[in-house]
């Protein structure tokens, strides 16, 4: 039996299953006499304090054993314990309704989940997992448990962990040294478990939906974290093939480690700039480790997600300046707020279809202040290094003019105030809406650079919701419409002498990265761990040959045929043993 999910951490692992099952603890509503209300408030406060101590201990352990870049997760959890939307509201419910703390927490959880569900940004929507983790811990401590839910004490041996999901604190406490691989019913690329698994080099597949029901405890399974497959009780020949693939992966990983100091240049001397996408400031260290030549996309929504409030100008200056200092002398490209109305003003009107609704630059028409603050911070931070500003969700020239006018107004403000800032900060945009792609030649006249956000652009071009399992198979990065659109954007950039980069997932796939290169893209931004493989592929080809293959693919009618053509013509580069040599 073979199950298909989403591979979020590459590698192959073979082992026996350790199955994690969830037990739902019922929460009852109890009416309290008036004299018991304040005692119940104190009981909640004690449970919160115990939870805070536990979370701080987990954070310290993560910083010590895995590294600072992953301990930030628990800063967000600790902040939740201070958030008046959460605990002050729970205390108010206890006092107003004379109910027990467990019921008050459940009520608050339902209210906040309704708010999270309205968020248009997928990353922020998934932060509801953090909410469940924190409130679940407080509920356990209300019940008098001495220990929070933990997978720190696994049985002897090593296992493939199969679970419905892993909360961030469960993932942090997990005895990873006994885990060969992880397979989850739920999850996505941005789940904290996926981030940790990639950091630790442990294969992981998520989004399996019903693996916990279909895989029996103790079964022998193979987890392929690159393809997103889980094979249950494979045959002897299949198992032998998997083990051979394991050894090949081990040898390839060792070779790829040697690419950090090598130039990203083809056999005939054409260079490609490889940069890293970053969700959090601490990922700069990881980007440098993998040889990134800059941050091609910093998703500034991290600053909103941690505290659920708009950060001040000074807070933002500190974050952007810190990024620049870590990446020096390489550039950092910051994408301005890509959020919807619920993030801007919780409780405000929501869009029936957030993907097509009022978000990012469209919110300037309603309230420019958060963007004004961010742009001031970016211009000031740019005095300390090569920072670039990238504008998201531009539909056409009028959107761009509105943003550029605001930037010019802010420059004037900073001059009058005598603030130190950089006058000539490069301003560009991310092309992710078809109308912007079709007017790329008009947009290129006004900006310093163009970046193609293939994740959204493909979704809009093909009318496919990439996270909807019913149609996600129709999401085809190599669809001829996608390749032709990229070709046209590159041509528009070349006509106006404006560089064009790609910062979507296409850039992280060696095969797709090569076809982008063949179409004229010379800057690619991806997850840091993807850089060595893409670099090795680039170093294994001749630019002239890849250009010829890519242009030929423009006349091939289906994505499947295009992929077959690419794999046949570029097979040698996709086995990069020779490409890592000087």
Number of H helices, E strands in the chain: 24, 16
Task: Tell whether 416 is covered by a domain.
Answer: yes
Is the Cα dihedral 172, 174, 175, 177 positive or negative? Answer: negative
Residue 477: which of 501, 493, 446, 453 has the closest Cα? 453
For 147-165, give the DSSP string: S-S--SSPPSS-EEEEES-
Let me know whether 64 and 12 are in one domain: no
Comparison of pLDDT for 253 and 325, the residue scoring more: 325
Domain at 115, CATH number: 1.10.274.10
Number of domains in the chain: 3
pLDDT confidence band for 453 (50 / 70 / 90): very high
> Residue 63 belongs to what H/E stretch?
helix 37-65
Cβ–Cβ under 8 Å, residues 7 and 233: no
* Interval 475-488: pLDDT, tens: 899 999 999 999 99
What are the respective helix, strand and coil percentages of the chain, to the nearest 5? 55, 15, 35
Give dist(CA 339, CA 124) in Å, integer: 9
**Residue 375 domain-assigned?**
yes
pLDDT for position 517? 97
Please report whether residue 284 resides in a domain: yes
In this structure, are 8 and 84 located in the same domain? Answer: no
Mean pLDDT of 442-455: 96
**Which of 425, 460, 483 is the last residue in one of the domains?**
425
305 — pLDDT class (breaks 50, 70, 90): low
Structural domain containing residue 183 = 2-20+151-238
Span 549-576, average pLDDT = 90
- How many angstroms separate the CA atoms of 560 and 566, rounded? 10
**Has residue 291 been placed in a domain?**
yes
Based on the domain organization, do 12 and 41 belong to the same domain?
no
- Of 180, 212, 238, the last residue of a domain is 238
Is residue 379 domain-shared with residue 341, that is, in the same domain? yes
Q: What is the dihedral of CA 476, 481, 483, 488, to 10 degrees?
A: -150
pLDDT (0 to 100) of residue 137: 77
| pLDDT for residue 465 | 77
Tell me the per-residue pLDDT of 319-365, one tens digit each, with 9 for 90 and over: 999 999 999 999 999 999 987 654 444 444 445 566 677 677 887 88
Q: Is 251 helix (H, G, I), strand (E, B) or coil?
A: helix
Structure tokens at 377: 């911070």
Give 4's pLDDT tier (boundaries 50, 70, 90): confident
pLDDT in tens, 40-86: 999 888 888 888 887 787 777 666 555 544 555 667 777 777 777 77
Task: Give residue 511's pLDDT.
Answer: 94
Same domain, 277 and 350: yes
Asked if the model's pLDDT at residue 228 lies above 70, the reply is yes
> Are 180 and 110 found together in one domain?
no
In a domain, 511, yes or no: no
Instruction: Say if residue 115 is in the same domain as residue 230.
Output: no
CATH code assigned at 402 = 3.20.20.60
414/283 same-domain check: yes
Phi (first) and psi of residue 83, to 5 degrees: -75, 125
* Residue 579 clears pLDDT 80, i.e. is over it: no
Helix (H) or strand (E) holding 40: helix 37-65
Q: 483-505 burial by CB neighbour count: b if 16+ within 10 A, else e?
A: bebbbebbebbeeeebbbbbbbb
The partner residues of 99 in beta bridges, in order of sequence, read 31
Percent of the residues in the chain that have a pLDDT greater than 70, as a whole number:
82
> What is the dihedral sign for C-alpha 150, 156, 157, 163?
negative
Residue 202: CATH number of its domain: 3.50.30.10
Evaluate whether 231 touches 106 at the Cβ level (below 8 Å).
Answer: no
Residues 6+ apart with CB under 8 A from 109: 131, 132, 135
Is residue 175 domain-shared with residue 207, that is, in the same domain? Answer: yes
Q: Which two tokens stand for residue 582?
A: 């000087």
pLDDT at 521 over 60: yes
Looking at the DSSP bridge assignments, the partners of residue 402 are: none
At residue 66, the 3 state secondary structure works out as: coil
Give residue 152's pLDDT: 61
Compute the distance between CA of residue 482 and CA of residue 465 in angstroms, rounded to an integer: 15
Going by C-alpha positions, the residue among 552, 521, 551, 548 that lies closest to residue 534 is: 521
Q: Does residue 550 sit within a domain?
A: no
Q: 114: pLDDT confidence band, cut at 50, 70 and 90? A: confident
Average pLDDT over residues 356-375: 83
Residue 332: beta bridge partners? 295, 387
578: pLDDT strictly greater than 50: no
Residue 150 has pLDDT above 70, yes or no: no
Whether 454 is in a domain gets the answer no
pLDDT in tens, 264-291: 999 999 999 999 988 778 778 888 888 9
Alpha-carbon distance of 116 to 89, in angstroms, equals: 17
Going by pLDDT thresholds of 50, 70 and 90, the confidence category of residue 314 is: very high
Q: What is the per-residue pLDDT across 116-141, written as a single tens digit (0 to 9) for each?
A: 666 655 555 556 667 777 877 787 77
Cα–Cα distance measured from residue 229 to residue 510, given in angstroms and rounded to the nearest whole number: 19
Residues 295 and 406 in one domain: yes
The residues, any chain, with a CB within 8 Å of residue 546's CB and separated by 6 or more, are: 266, 514, 515, 517, 518, 570
Q: Which residues are catalytic?
A: 192, 503
- 280 and 413 co-located in one domain: yes
Are 94 and 101 contacting, i.e. CB atoms less than 8 angstroms apart? yes
Q: Does residue 503 fall inside a structural domain?
A: no
User: Backbone phi, then psi, for 498, in 5-degree steps?
Assistant: -115, 125
C-alpha closest to that of 16 among 197, 169, 155: 155
CA 144 – CA 140 distance, rounded (Å): 7
Q: Name the phi and psi angles at 92, rounded to 5.
A: -60, -40
Alpha-carbon distance of 266 to 185, in angstroms, equals 41
Domain boundary among the residues 194, 221, 238 is at 238
pTM of the full predicted structure? 0.67
SS3 assignment, position 290: coil
Q: How far apart are alpha carbons 530 and 567 in whole angstroms?
A: 19
Say if residue 287 is in the same domain as residue 416: yes
Show the tokens assigned to 24.
């739902």
| pLDDT surpassing 70 at residue 377 | yes
């Amino acid at each position: 039996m073979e199950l298909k999910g989403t591979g979020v951490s590459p590698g192959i692992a073979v082992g026996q299953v350790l199955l994690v099952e969830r037990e739902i603890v019922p929460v009852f509503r109890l009416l309290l006499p008036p004299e018991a209300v304040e005692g119940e408030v104190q009981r909640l406060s004690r449970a919160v304090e115990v939870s805070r101590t536990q979370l701080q201990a987990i954070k310290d352990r993560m910083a010590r054993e895995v590294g600072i870049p992953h301990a930030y997760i628990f800063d967000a959890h600790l902040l939740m314990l201070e958030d008046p939307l959460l605990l002050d509201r729970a205390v108010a419910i206890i006092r107003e309704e004379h109910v027990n703390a467990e019921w008050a927490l459940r009520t608050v959880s339902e209210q906040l989940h309704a708010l999270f569900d309205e968020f248009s940004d997928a990353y922020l929507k998934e932060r509801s997992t953090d909410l469940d983790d924190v409130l679940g811990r407080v509920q356990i401590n209300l019940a008098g448990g001495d220990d929070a839910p933990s997978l720190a004490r696994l049985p002897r041996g090593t296992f493939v962990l199969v679970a419905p999901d892993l909360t961030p604190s469960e993932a942090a406490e997990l005895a990873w040294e006994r885990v060969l691989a992880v397979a989850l019913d739920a999850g996505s690329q941005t789940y904290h478990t996926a981030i940790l698994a990639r950091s630790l080099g442990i294969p992981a597949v998520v989004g399996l939906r019903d693996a916990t029901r279909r895989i029996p405890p103790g079964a022998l399974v193979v987890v392929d974290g690159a393809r997103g497959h889980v094979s249950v009780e494979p045959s002897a020949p299949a198992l032998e093939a998997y083990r051979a693939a394991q050894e090949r992966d081990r040898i390839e990983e060792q070779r790829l480690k040697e690419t950090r100091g090598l130039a990203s240049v083809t056999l005939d001397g054409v260079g490609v700039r490889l940069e890293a996408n970053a969700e959090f400031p601490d990922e700069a260290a990881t980007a440098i480790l993998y040889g990134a030549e800059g941050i091609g996309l910093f998703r500034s929504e991290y600053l909103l997600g941690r505290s659920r409030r708009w950060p001040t100008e000074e807070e933002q200056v500190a974050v952007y300046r810190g990024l620049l200092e870590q990446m020096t002398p390489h550039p950092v490209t910051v994408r301005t707020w890509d959020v919807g109305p619920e993030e801007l003003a919780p409780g405000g009107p929501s869009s029936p279809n957030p993907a097509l609704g009022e978000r990012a630059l469209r919110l300037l028409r309603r309230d420019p202040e958060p963007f004004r603050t961010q742009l001031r911070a970016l211009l000031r931070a740019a005095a300390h290094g090569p920072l670039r500003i990238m504008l998201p969700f531009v539909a056409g020239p009028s959107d761009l003019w509105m943003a550029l006018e605001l930037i010019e107004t802010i420059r004037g403000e900073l001059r009058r105030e005598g603030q130190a800032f950089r006058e000539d900060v490069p301003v560009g945009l991310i092309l992710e809406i078809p109308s912007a792609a079709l007017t790329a030649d008009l947009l290129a006249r006004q900006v310093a650079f163009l970046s193609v956000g293939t994740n959204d652009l493909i979704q809009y071009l093909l009318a496919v919701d990439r996270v909807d399992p019913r149609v996600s198979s129709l999401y085809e990065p190599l669809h001829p419409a996608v390749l032709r659109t990229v070709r046209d954007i590159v041509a528009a950039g070349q006509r106006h002498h404006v560089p064009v980069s790609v910062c979507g997932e296409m850039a992280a796939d060696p095969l797709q990265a090569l076809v982008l290169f063949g179409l004229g893209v010379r800057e690619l931004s991806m997850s840091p761990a993807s850089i060595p493989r893409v670099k090795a592929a680039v170093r294994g080809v001749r630019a002239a040959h890849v250009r010829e293959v890519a242009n030929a693919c423009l006349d091939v009618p289906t994505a499947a045929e295009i992929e077959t053509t690419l794999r046949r013509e570029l097979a040698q580069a996709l086995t990069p043993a020779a490409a890592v040599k000087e």
